[in-house]
Chains A and B, each alone.
Chain A
Amino acid sequence: MKITEDTVKHVATLSRLEFSDSEIGEFTEQMGNIINMASQLQAVDTEGVEETVQVVDRDTVFREDKPEHWQDREELMENVPEKANGFIKVPVIIEKDDNE
């Protein structure tokens, strides 16, 4: 499988990351090498083999759905980068033009 600059740009969009042109070039080469290494896995015969996505020996664990009060709003807001009047501040979400 060939990793192209377009593949890298597409994956960057999925990852919510942006790169400079020189970084794109570097990542394309490195990802190509890593994917090339990962392609070795195609050589393994996995016909009829189940997937392992976790190694827990318990089934789905249920608990009572009871509310717990353990944090103050003020405390929670302390890590917020930009805030106003007790709310989290973000740039405009809906551009004016969208409504016109």
Chain B
Amino acid sequence: MNYLNETIDSLNKKLASGEITADQLAKDTVANIKDTDKKLNAWITVDEDAKPAENLDFAKNKLAGIPIAIKDNIVTNGMKTTAASHILDNFMPMYDATVISKLKKAQFTLVGKTNMDEFAMGSSTEHSYFGATHNPWNLDKVPGGSSGGSAAAVAGGQVVAALGSDTGGSIRQPAAFNGIFGIKPTYGRVSRWGLIAFGSSLDQIGVMSKRVKDSAEVLNVIAGSDDHDSTMSTREVPDFTKFLGQDVKGLRVAVPKEYMDAVDGKMRELIQKQIDLLKDAGAIINEVSLPHTKYVVPTYYIIASSEASSNLQRYDGIRYGYRAKDTKNLLDVYVKSRSEGFGTEVKRRIMLGSFALSAGSYDKFFRQAAKVRTLICQDFDKIFAENDVILGPTTTEPAFGIGEEVSDPIKMYNNDILTISANLAGIPAASVPAGLVDGMPFGLQIMAKRFDEGNVFKTADFIERSNKFYEKTPTGMED
């Protein structure tokens, strides 16, 4: 089964009418993944015996019998969950993440887990214990990261939609690199219970799909309060599909000059073209400024790494995960298991975080970053007082080559400059395809105020209807 020309609606129709059975769909999906993944390496685990739920109700559950890919940092009861790390390469969860329970209640089919940067730390999916994932548009390029496996699986037609997680752009940047839609909802919109923690004040589970509507359908299922996550909002979740197909007349669109100045040439032209589409349809375009943009990368890397160094203390080789051999005492178990179990990028972040939190550095680095975070949030508050959405490029360049940036952490970190602010401020943000730049997809980022995913969907759907990027087929999958 190849999903390039399918949507959740089209599949739901086929399943309801009996044109295809859910059993067959599961089998065909697995067969296609096994075949195409020789090129992509988008999956860590594929369940060859994947079975749909019983007593499928196609009228009640849009997702009934439909396979959806799950990033491998979201725990699945009885299915190995590794976070792409050696330290968890044999870890078998005993419970489902809340998003998985909700998807199961909606009768989706679990077929497997997708590749990612180890513990979601990276923006290329090269930092995986299970090898790099390849971009379906050009197999020599990275798919972005850290949700690169989920993005490549969707763009390559292996599934119709996927779950990812986004701590600093890990859904939006790979969505942009693969020519698909990806949304990081508001912090507090989707439960993090069962998401392997990286930066707890920044992490958010979200959805990736070729078509905007399919992400709205999946978000409808996974959003909503959860007693297991006390950072969850209790406010009502709207039906996100009702924001689609709307008129954008009067929509107030802010375009930060710092974001536009981050790209030039064809990329800038392409983004400007999308903004012009909105303008021609009656949206009001306002040039604005996000003056603290130049500080978001250091602010983010201090905060995210500090939280990571704390969250990753739990991997000690005692109760679960990898334990080093030939250890003499307990301290030896901790040190050797962690040193052998974590990859280089993860160790780099733990070290940076431990440093930023250590005596003598805490005030200068962590506390100062937390204060600058406040200023970054205030920049957004000011803009959203007079605007509905903020638009700009999702990334500063299209997908780069595999191996090109992996040895230069600072270059890699600076790639995230346009996406990380949304995590620091907890606002919803998405990437929708804008077009191609030298044959590779390039994304338009849409941000809105907290809990206003509605305007994100409304704008993305308008862009999708206008540029019809979904008619294009990835160029790297042909033999």
Q: What is the interface of chain A, defined by CB distance below 8 A to chain B? A: 1, 7-8, 10-12, 14-19, 27, 30-31, 33-35, 37-42, 44, 46, 49-58, 60-61, 63, 70-71, 75-76, 78-82, 88, 90-93, 95
Q: If the complex has contacts A79-B320, A80-B319, are A91 and B94 also in contact, measured as CB distance less than 8 A?
A: no
Residue pair A90, B318 in contact (C-beta under 8 Å): yes
Residue pair B377, A55 in contact (C-beta under 8 Å): yes
A-chain residues with CB within 8 Å of residue B316 when the two chains form the complex: 16
Given contact pairs A16-B331, A17-B350, A58-B188, a sample of 20 additional A-B residue pairs in the complex whose CB atoms are under 8 Å apart = A15-B309, A16-B313, A17-B339, A18-B336, A18-B339, A39-B298, A41-B298, A41-B368, A50-B374, A51-B374, A57-B188, A57-B450, A60-B230, A70-B95, A71-B95, A75-B94, A76-B94, A91-B330, A91-B333, A92-B330
B-chain residues with CB within 8 Å of residue A46 when the two chains form the complex: 368, 371-372, 374-375
A40 to chain B: closest residue by CB: B298
A43 to chain B: closest residue by CB: B295
What sequence of 0s and 1s flags, for each residue 277-313 of chain B, a beta carbon within 8 Å of any chain A beta carbon? 0000000000000001011011101100000010001
- Would you call B16 an interface residue if the criterion is a C-beta within 8 Å of the partner chain's C-beta atoms? no
Residue pair A56, B335 in contact (C-beta under 8 Å): no
A-chain residues with CB within 8 Å of residue B230 when the two chains form the complex: 58, 60-61, 63
- Would you call B384 an interface residue if the criterion is a C-beta within 8 Å of the partner chain's C-beta atoms? no
A-chain residues with CB within 8 Å of residue B234 when the two chains form the complex: 58
8 tightest Cβ-Cβ pairs between the two chains A and B: A55-B426, A79-B320, A51-B370, A81-B323, A61-B230, A46-B371, A52-B373, A38-B298
Residue pair A81, B322 in contact (C-beta under 8 Å): yes
A-chain residues with CB within 8 Å of residue B299 when the two chains form the complex: 41
Chain B contact residues (Cβ within 8 angstroms of A): what range? 35 or more
Q: Of the 9-residue stretches B42-50, B352-360, B390-398, which lies at the interface with chain A?
A: B352-360
Instruction: Return A63 CB to nearest CB of chain B, in Å.
Output: 7
- Would you call B91 an interface residue if the criterion is a C-beta within 8 Å of the partner chain's C-beta atoms? yes
Q: What is the interface of chain B, defined by CB distance below 8 A to chain A? A: 90-92, 94-95, 187-188, 201, 227, 230-231, 233-234, 292, 294-295, 297-299, 301-302, 309, 313, 316-323, 327-336, 338-339, 342, 347-348, 350-352, 354-356, 358, 364-365, 367-375, 377, 409-410, 413, 424-426, 450
What DSSP secondary structure best describes chain B's contact surface? helix
Q: Which of A11, A12, A54 has the most chain B CB within a 10 Å cutoff?
A: A11
B370 to chain A: closest residue by CB: A51
Q: Which of A15, A38, A75 contacts B301 (CB 8 A)?
A: A38
B-chain residues with CB within 8 Å of residue A30 when the two chains form the complex: 348, 409
Residue pair A35, B355 in contact (C-beta under 8 Å): yes
Q: In the complex, what distance in Å separates the CA atom of A44 from the CA atom of B365?
A: 12
Residue pair B320, A80 in contact (C-beta under 8 Å): yes
Q: Which of A35, A52, A80 contacts B377 (CB 8 A)?
A: A52
Q: Which of A17, A41, A55 contacts B425 (CB 8 A)?
A: A55
Q: If the complex has contacts A16-B338, A30-B348, are A91 and B332 also in contact, measured as CB distance less than 8 A?
A: yes
Instruction: Return B384 CB to nearest CB of chain A, in Å.
Output: 14
Q: In the complex, what distance in Å separates the CA atom of A70 from the CA atom of B193?
A: 15
Residue pair B347, A41 in contact (C-beta under 8 Å): no
Q: Which of A27, A71, A80, A92 contacts B351 (CB 8 A)?
A: A27
Residue pair B371, A79 in contact (C-beta under 8 Å): no
Residue pair A93, B309 in contact (C-beta under 8 Å): no
